[in-house]
Amino acid sequence: MRIFEKEEGYEVTISTNQFKTGMAILFDGQLFTIEEYQHVKPGKGAAFVRTKLRSMKTGNILSRTFDAGDKFEDAFIEKKPLQFLYRSGDEFHFMDTKNYDQQMFTRDEVGDSANYLKENLEVKAELYDNKLIGIELPTTVDLKITESEPGIRGDTSKSAMKSAILETGFKLLVPLFVEPGEVIKVDTRNGQYAGRT
Protein backbone atom coordinates (compact mmCIF):
# COMPACT_ATOMS: atom_id res chain seq x y z
CA MET A 1 0.00 0.00 0.00
CA ARG A 2 1.40 3.39 -0.92
CA ILE A 3 1.94 5.93 1.83
CA PHE A 4 2.45 9.62 1.10
CA GLU A 5 2.92 12.87 2.91
CA LYS A 6 -0.10 14.79 1.71
CA GLU A 7 0.50 18.44 0.93
CA GLU A 8 -2.25 20.89 1.81
CA GLY A 9 -4.81 21.20 -1.01
CA TYR A 10 -2.81 18.90 -3.26
CA GLU A 11 -4.52 15.97 -4.99
CA VAL A 12 -2.60 13.29 -6.82
CA THR A 13 -4.25 11.63 -9.76
CA ILE A 14 -3.01 8.43 -11.28
CA SER A 15 -3.90 6.81 -14.56
CA THR A 16 -4.54 3.15 -15.26
CA ASN A 17 -1.01 2.73 -16.69
CA GLN A 18 0.37 3.53 -13.19
CA PHE A 19 -1.69 0.84 -11.45
CA LYS A 20 0.20 -1.44 -9.05
CA THR A 21 -1.02 -4.30 -6.88
CA GLY A 22 -1.85 -3.04 -3.37
CA MET A 23 -2.29 0.58 -4.49
CA ALA A 24 -5.24 2.42 -2.92
CA ILE A 25 -7.54 4.50 -5.14
CA LEU A 26 -10.80 6.40 -4.80
CA PHE A 27 -13.47 5.08 -7.17
CA ASP A 28 -17.15 6.12 -7.06
CA GLY A 29 -16.41 7.98 -3.81
CA GLN A 30 -15.18 4.81 -2.07
CA LEU A 31 -11.76 3.53 -1.10
CA PHE A 32 -10.46 0.43 -2.90
CA THR A 33 -7.16 -1.42 -3.12
CA ILE A 34 -6.07 -2.93 -6.42
CA GLU A 35 -5.87 -6.72 -5.99
CA GLU A 36 -5.19 -7.58 -9.64
CA TYR A 37 -4.91 -5.69 -12.90
CA GLN A 38 -4.28 -6.63 -16.52
CA HIS A 39 -3.56 -4.28 -19.44
CA VAL A 40 -5.32 -5.54 -22.59
CA LYS A 41 -4.48 -4.33 -26.12
CA PRO A 42 -6.95 -5.93 -28.52
CA GLY A 43 -6.18 -6.15 -32.24
CA LYS A 44 -9.08 -3.79 -32.95
CA GLY A 45 -10.39 -1.07 -30.69
CA ALA A 46 -8.95 0.83 -27.79
CA ALA A 47 -6.76 -0.62 -25.03
CA PHE A 48 -8.36 -1.23 -21.63
CA VAL A 49 -7.48 -2.43 -18.13
CA ARG A 50 -9.23 -5.32 -16.34
CA THR A 51 -9.10 -5.03 -12.53
CA LYS A 52 -10.17 -6.67 -9.32
CA LEU A 53 -10.71 -4.07 -6.59
CA ARG A 54 -11.21 -4.77 -2.87
CA SER A 55 -13.47 -2.39 -0.97
CA MET A 56 -11.64 -1.21 2.16
CA LYS A 57 -15.03 -0.72 3.84
CA THR A 58 -16.67 -4.08 3.18
CA GLY A 59 -13.79 -6.30 1.99
CA ASN A 60 -15.84 -7.27 -1.08
CA ILE A 61 -14.07 -7.83 -4.41
CA LEU A 62 -15.32 -5.90 -7.42
CA SER A 63 -14.38 -6.69 -11.04
CA ARG A 64 -14.17 -3.56 -13.19
CA THR A 65 -12.86 -2.70 -16.65
CA PHE A 66 -11.48 0.79 -17.36
CA ASP A 67 -10.35 2.51 -20.53
CA ALA A 68 -6.58 2.89 -20.80
CA GLY A 69 -5.65 6.32 -19.46
CA ASP A 70 -8.67 6.72 -17.13
CA LYS A 71 -7.65 8.79 -14.11
CA PHE A 72 -8.35 8.25 -10.40
CA GLU A 73 -7.50 10.04 -7.18
CA ASP A 74 -4.64 8.33 -5.40
CA ALA A 75 -5.65 7.62 -1.80
CA PHE A 76 -3.30 8.54 1.03
CA ILE A 77 -3.20 5.66 3.52
CA GLU A 78 -1.24 6.38 6.68
CA LYS A 79 0.10 3.43 8.66
CA LYS A 80 0.61 4.25 12.30
CA PRO A 81 2.05 1.95 15.03
CA LEU A 82 -0.34 1.84 17.98
CA GLN A 83 -0.46 -0.01 21.27
CA PHE A 84 -3.85 -1.13 22.58
CA LEU A 85 -4.40 0.23 26.09
CA TYR A 86 -7.90 -0.73 27.22
CA ARG A 87 -11.55 -1.10 26.29
CA SER A 88 -14.34 0.90 27.90
CA GLY A 89 -17.73 -0.31 26.68
CA ASP A 90 -17.71 0.17 22.92
CA GLU A 91 -14.65 2.44 23.01
CA PHE A 92 -11.17 1.14 22.29
CA HIS A 93 -8.25 3.24 23.52
CA PHE A 94 -4.84 3.15 21.83
CA MET A 95 -1.53 4.96 22.24
CA ASP A 96 0.68 6.09 19.37
CA THR A 97 4.03 4.38 20.08
CA LYS A 98 5.99 7.22 18.45
CA ASN A 99 4.58 10.32 20.16
CA TYR A 100 2.52 8.73 23.00
CA ASP A 101 -0.69 10.51 21.93
CA GLN A 102 -3.83 8.58 22.81
CA GLN A 103 -6.59 7.82 20.32
CA MET A 104 -10.03 6.30 20.76
CA PHE A 105 -11.93 4.29 18.16
CA THR A 106 -15.46 2.84 18.34
CA ARG A 107 -16.42 -0.84 18.09
CA ASP A 108 -17.74 -0.21 14.56
CA GLU A 109 -14.41 1.31 13.49
CA VAL A 110 -12.34 -1.48 15.07
CA GLY A 111 -14.57 -4.22 13.58
CA ASP A 112 -13.57 -7.88 14.00
CA SER A 113 -10.11 -6.85 15.24
CA ALA A 114 -11.82 -6.36 18.63
CA ASN A 115 -11.80 -10.17 19.01
CA TYR A 116 -8.01 -10.15 19.36
CA LEU A 117 -7.22 -6.91 21.20
CA LYS A 118 -5.70 -7.38 24.64
CA GLU A 119 -3.81 -4.83 26.73
CA ASN A 120 -0.37 -3.82 25.41
CA LEU A 121 -0.84 -5.55 22.02
CA GLU A 122 1.02 -3.62 19.30
CA VAL A 123 -0.77 -3.20 15.97
CA LYS A 124 -0.57 -1.02 12.86
CA ALA A 125 -3.56 1.24 12.25
CA GLU A 126 -4.43 2.16 8.66
CA LEU A 127 -5.90 5.65 8.49
CA TYR A 128 -7.48 7.58 5.64
CA ASP A 129 -8.32 11.26 6.27
CA ASN A 130 -7.68 10.55 9.99
CA LYS A 131 -10.39 7.85 9.96
CA LEU A 132 -9.56 4.26 10.90
CA ILE A 133 -10.06 1.94 7.92
CA GLY A 134 -8.21 -1.11 9.17
CA ILE A 135 -6.02 -2.67 11.83
CA GLU A 136 -3.06 -4.86 10.92
CA LEU A 137 -2.75 -7.50 13.64
CA PRO A 138 0.07 -9.95 14.38
CA THR A 139 -0.55 -13.34 12.67
CA THR A 140 -1.23 -14.97 16.06
CA VAL A 141 -2.13 -13.60 19.47
CA ASP A 142 -1.97 -15.28 22.89
CA LEU A 143 -5.32 -15.12 24.71
CA LYS A 144 -6.59 -16.65 27.95
CA ILE A 145 -9.66 -18.90 28.00
CA THR A 146 -12.22 -17.60 30.50
CA GLU A 147 -14.96 -20.20 29.91
CA SER A 148 -15.27 -23.51 28.11
CA GLU A 149 -17.57 -26.48 28.00
CA PRO A 150 -16.29 -29.50 29.92
CA GLY A 151 -14.56 -32.13 27.80
CA ILE A 152 -16.33 -35.46 27.42
CA ARG A 153 -14.52 -38.24 29.33
CA GLY A 154 -13.11 -40.95 27.16
CA ASP A 155 -13.38 -38.93 23.94
CA THR A 156 -9.84 -39.12 22.58
CA SER A 157 -10.73 -38.23 19.02
CA LYS A 158 -8.17 -35.74 17.69
CA SER A 159 -10.83 -33.84 15.77
CA ALA A 160 -13.19 -33.44 18.76
CA MET A 161 -13.66 -29.77 19.64
CA LYS A 162 -15.62 -27.76 22.20
CA SER A 163 -16.72 -24.15 22.47
CA ALA A 164 -14.65 -21.66 24.51
CA ILE A 165 -14.82 -17.95 25.35
CA LEU A 166 -11.60 -15.90 25.46
CA GLU A 167 -10.65 -12.91 27.63
CA THR A 168 -11.71 -10.57 24.79
CA GLY A 169 -15.20 -12.12 24.67
CA PHE A 170 -14.41 -13.92 21.40
CA LYS A 171 -15.95 -17.39 21.05
CA LEU A 172 -14.16 -20.18 19.15
CA LEU A 173 -13.69 -23.94 19.01
CA VAL A 174 -10.78 -25.51 20.92
CA PRO A 175 -9.65 -29.12 21.47
CA LEU A 176 -11.30 -31.00 24.36
CA PHE A 177 -8.12 -31.05 26.48
CA VAL A 178 -7.91 -27.22 26.71
CA GLU A 179 -9.25 -25.87 30.02
CA PRO A 180 -10.32 -22.44 31.38
CA GLY A 181 -7.35 -20.39 32.60
CA GLU A 182 -5.04 -21.70 29.88
CA VAL A 183 -3.49 -19.33 27.36
CA ILE A 184 -3.79 -20.37 23.71
CA LYS A 185 -2.58 -19.05 20.37
CA VAL A 186 -5.30 -17.78 18.05
CA ASP A 187 -4.76 -17.21 14.31
CA THR A 188 -6.03 -13.68 13.58
CA ARG A 189 -6.43 -14.46 9.86
CA ASN A 190 -9.19 -17.03 10.39
CA GLY A 191 -10.12 -16.81 14.09
CA GLN A 192 -9.10 -20.41 14.78
CA TYR A 193 -7.21 -22.20 17.55
CA ALA A 194 -3.51 -22.38 16.64
CA GLY A 195 -2.06 -24.25 19.64
CA ARG A 196 -1.08 -23.80 23.26
CA THR A 197 1.53 -21.26 24.32
Question: Going from the N-terminus, what domains does the chain have, and what CATH number goes with each?
Answer: 13-74 (2.30.30.30), 78-136 (2.40.50.140), 140-196 (2.40.50.140)
User: Which pLDDT does position 6 carry in this prediction?
Assistant: 40
Give all strands of the β-sheet with 71-74 in edge-to-edge order: 13-15, 71-74, 24-27, 30-40, 48-55, 61-67
User: Which pLDDT does position 3 carry in this prediction?
Assistant: 39
Q: What is the average pLDDT score of the chain? A: 86
How far apart are the C-alpha atoms of 61 and 103, rounded to whole Å? 30
Structural contact between residues 115 and 164, judged by C-beta atoms closer than 8 angstroms: no
* Angle value at C-alpha 152, between 150 and 153, nearest 5 degrees: 120
Structural contact between residues 77 and 32, judged by C-beta atoms closer than 8 angstroms: no
User: Which pLDDT does position 52 carry in this prediction?
Assistant: 93
Which burial class, exposed, middle or buried, applies to 100 when counting CB atoms under 10 A from its CB (0-12, 13-18, 19+)? exposed
Residues whose CB is less than 8 angstroms from the CB of residue 107 and which lie 6 or more positions away in sequence, other chains included: 90, 91, 92, 114
What pLDDT, in 10s, does the model give residues 45-79? 889 999 999 888 777 899 999 998 899 887 888 88
Element (H, E) at 174: strand 171-175
Structure confidence at residue 164 as a pLDDT band (50, 70, 90): very high
The pTM score is 0.69
Structure confidence at residue 154 as a pLDDT band (50, 70, 90): low
What pLDDT, in 10s, does the model give residues 73-129? 878 888 899 999 999 999 999 999 999 999 999 998 898 899 999 999 999 998 887
Of the listed ranges 11-25, 42-56, 133-147, the least confidently predicted one is 11-25
Element (H, E) at 110: helix 107-110
Is pLDDT of 42 > 60?
yes
Q: How many CB atoms lie within 10 A of CB 25?
A: 21
Is pLDDT of 152 > 70?
no
More confident residue, 150 or 125: 125
